[in-house]
A and B are shown apart, each in its own frame.
Chain A
Amino acid sequence: MKSYNLNHLKELESEAIYIVREVAAQFENPVLLFSGGKDSIVCAHIAKKAFHPAKIPFSLMHVDTGHNFPETIEFRDKYVKKLGANLIIASVQDSIDQGKAVEEKGFNASRNGLQTVTLLEGLDEHKFGAAMGGARRDEEKARAKERFFSHRDEFGQWDPKNQRAELWNIFNGMKNFGENFRVFPISNWTEMDVWQYILAEGIELPSLYFSHQRDCFIRDGVVMSECDFIPQREEEKTSEMTVRFRTIGDMTCTGAVESDADTIEKIIEEVAATRTTERGTRSDDKRSEAAMEDRKKQGYF
């Protein structure tokens, strides 16, 4: 008998397409959160596949801290235009200007936590019933417990001890007015799966992911890009380094790694050999052992 097998990437892709279609079918007004990072690019690519030859039937929303790498923003605008999708920008700067969010102070000040305020406002303003995003369970231990369809109460809060059961491929998106869902189509993907998929599909990425020369300094063992948003201590000397980024977030909390990998193939080799987790370069996760769980309970992605 002929064998009907999918390889692991095709199976993960099929699962993610199924989830995205399920969201479009179950929710009146969903949105895809898009940061310009590789995971959200993969999600947008999946959404394109899910509805072809029609256009993606929902908007993309970027929660812009104002502290993004210029390369990310440039890529975002180009990519969204090519996709023919509608992009909404929710600005952390606006939240600060309106007095709804207060900027952190000091050397390690970051707008990462403030994103939650802007995100919840954006969801509320546009009455989005479900927000999809590219979070993965392998990223972080609190995320390992997250459902595909994650229910949030009217305050946007996650209740990890009281999550809905999720069985087979049947997803329950029923909710009361004012509540919403976060949905994670690529929950089951690992960093390696994402890179292999990007290679197999020929997906374009921001230049930041590839090895380049950059003015950097070292803080707490993490290589940080020199920029206007991070005050440097006197002993934190800038030097030109050959680096790339494993994740792309806010400039204030995203560290680089020293690397010569300038193609996807070389990045895959590097990921295979690396002995630290992807979020090891993220200072926002290092604040405490349950930093992610605490932020998620408050409504963070």
Chain B
Amino acid sequence: MESNSYLDMELLRFSTAGSVDDGKSTLIGRMLYDSKSIFEDQYEAIEASSKKKGEKNVNLALLTDGLRAEREQGITIDVAYRYFATPKRKFIIADTPGHIQYTRNMVTGASTSNLSIILIDARKGIIEQTYRHTFIASLLGIPHVVFCINKMDLVEYSEDVFQKIKKETEAFVSKLGIKDINFIPISALNGDNVVNKSENMDWYQGGTLLYLLENIHIGSDHNHVDCRFPVQYVIRPQSDEFHDYRGYAGRIAGGVFKPGDKVVALPSGFSSTIKSIDTLDGSIEEAFAPMSVTITLEDEMDISRGDMIVRENNRPEVTQDIDIMVCWLNERPLQLGGKYAVKHTSNDARCIIKEVKYKVDINTLHRLEEDTIIRMNDIGRITLRTTKPLFVDSYKKNRNTGSLILIDEATNETVGAGMILD
């Protein structure tokens, strides 16, 4: 490695969703293997396990299935996180099971991703789960989606097959409002267009999957326009040196903050000016998402955790009535009229479920207005009323200030994932 080049590396988080046979684990295994990210002792361990089970080839899926129950049953139950890096970028893979009963895991994996890889079997074309995975990617606001048309080796690397699937996919994706979509013909098993360019598909002029992952523009994935700073923790050193210091610590959720900016604190609505933006390495001239910083203000004000610092002329909506798309995560169905705890940015509140508007059939994207029982893995549109105002943006505008979770106060479990609607 060249000296200091590691300081120019970016971080890309992506998720993969897939079912048992579509080659997802093979693809991840291929990426790790071809980018030399599998260690010898890991490889030897899975080689030995594969042999013990009487499998002919080394089963790369064993790399990602970390729990005893998963290895015993040969399935992926939970989200697994994998890491690899090239000199350009570090990658975090959220590897999620793609079966309908694991929608909640897909949603979890997608919630922090910049990019989603959706696998399509070239022999089968678009199937139910393609709609499902694409819908979840759009619902979770993933900016980049890459459709990998896999198993091209089994359709004789045919350009016609690829073009047909591409055209059909584009037709339904256009309705979903995904910012950036890409198509790559691959064979995960043989490594065509995964890390190395395929010699079997001269007709494909685009880059390999890894090339795309390394080069796709992710600089605009955060909202750098609407300034939002949820206060996470108040820093008061109470030492002689910093006797009057009062800093508001948090992670920028949107926009760019600079010393001298006129700001208001919510919910009080009091105005002030940013005095400094502090870090251990010194004060800085600007801070943007997703930086963790400490902001001090010119005026002494009563601000605590859960409050939000924003610009005077660009405020989030302050409201107790919130419409969300919810993905239900718990075995106990959503209770209409039920009360739940809510977490939104650094804010805590309680809420009551006022209305279930409709449920979405995630395979056809049809609205089900008759069936309003929201069970585990269901997605539906509901209305909440919270005990106190929250400072919200639509999820489409900002994934940080547009998301919330619902918690069952009896069990303390996280039961719902909510995306705030306009």
Contact = CB atoms under 8 A, between A and B. Distances in A.
Interface string A1-25: 0011111111111110110011011
Contacts of A6: 10-11, 290-291
A161 B290 contact: no
**Most chain B CB neighbours (cut-off 10 Å) among A6, A12, A165:** A165
A25 B346 contact: yes
A52 B111 contact: no
Nearest to A14: B292
Contacts of B79: 145
A264 to B, nearest CB: 12
B205 interface: no
A137 B81 CA distance: 7
B396 interface: no
A152 B418 CA distance: 25
B237 A138 contact: no
A14 B414 contact: no
A130 to B, nearest CB: 14
Task: Determine the main DSSP class of B at the interface with A.
Answer: mixed
Given A145-B66, A172-B414, A167 B107 contact: yes
Nearest to A200: B7
Interface string A138-180: 1001111100000000000000110111111111101110000
A165 B67 contact: no
A63 to B, nearest CB: 24
A88 to B, nearest CB: 23
Interface string B11-40: 100000000000000000000000000011
Interface in B35-90: 39-42, 45, 49, 63-69, 71, 77-83, 85, 89-90
Nearest to A193: B90
B384 interface: no
Interface centre among A55, A142, A193, A269 (most CB of B within 10 A): A193
A15 B249 contact: no
Contacts, number: 191
A48 B249 CA distance: 13
A129 to B, nearest CB: 13
Contacts of A289: 45, 49, 68, 71
B189 interface: no
B278 interface: yes
Contact of B235 (A7, A53, A167, A200): A53
Given A168-B399, A168-B400, A275-B40, A55 B237 contact: yes
Contacts of B233: 21, 24-25, 51
A102 interface: no
Nearest to B251: A18
Contacts of B238: 54
Nearest to B72: A290
B9 A8 contact: yes
A12 B83 CA distance: 13
Interface string B380-421: 000000000000000000011001110101001110010000
Contacts of B338: none
Given A51-B249, A280-B41, A4 B288 contact: yes
A121 interface: no
Contacts of B3: 265
B329 interface: yes
A127 interface: no
Contacts of B409: 174
Contact of A144 (B66, B111, B222, B305): B66
B382 to A, nearest CB: 17
Contacts of A14: 251, 290-292
Contacts of A98: none
Contacts of B80: 144-145
Given A144-B80, A277-B39, A172 B10 contact: no
Nearest to B69: A161
Nearest to A23: B233
A89 interface: no
A112 interface: no
Contacts of B278: 52-53
Interface in B290-342: 290-292, 294, 305, 329, 341
A116 to B, nearest CB: 18
A171 B409 CA distance: 15
Contact of A54 (B64, B77, B83, B237): B237
B163 interface: no
Contacts of A55: 237, 239
B272 interface: no
Nearest to A290: B68
A297 to B, nearest CB: 10
B364 interface: no
Contacts of B279: 49, 52
Q: Which 8 A-B pairs have the closest CB atoms?
A: A141-B66, A54-B237, A17-B292, A8-B11, A174-B412, A167-B111, A52-B280, A8-B90
Interface of A: 3-15, 17-18, 21-22, 24-25, 48-55, 137-138, 141-145, 160-161, 163-172, 174-176, 187-188, 190, 192-193, 196, 200, 265, 268-269, 272, 274-277, 280, 289-290, 293
14 contacts: A141-B66, A144-B66, A144-B81, A161-B69, A165-B108, A167-B403, A167-B405, A168-B111, A168-B399, A170-B403, A175-B412, A192-B85, A272-B1, A276-B39
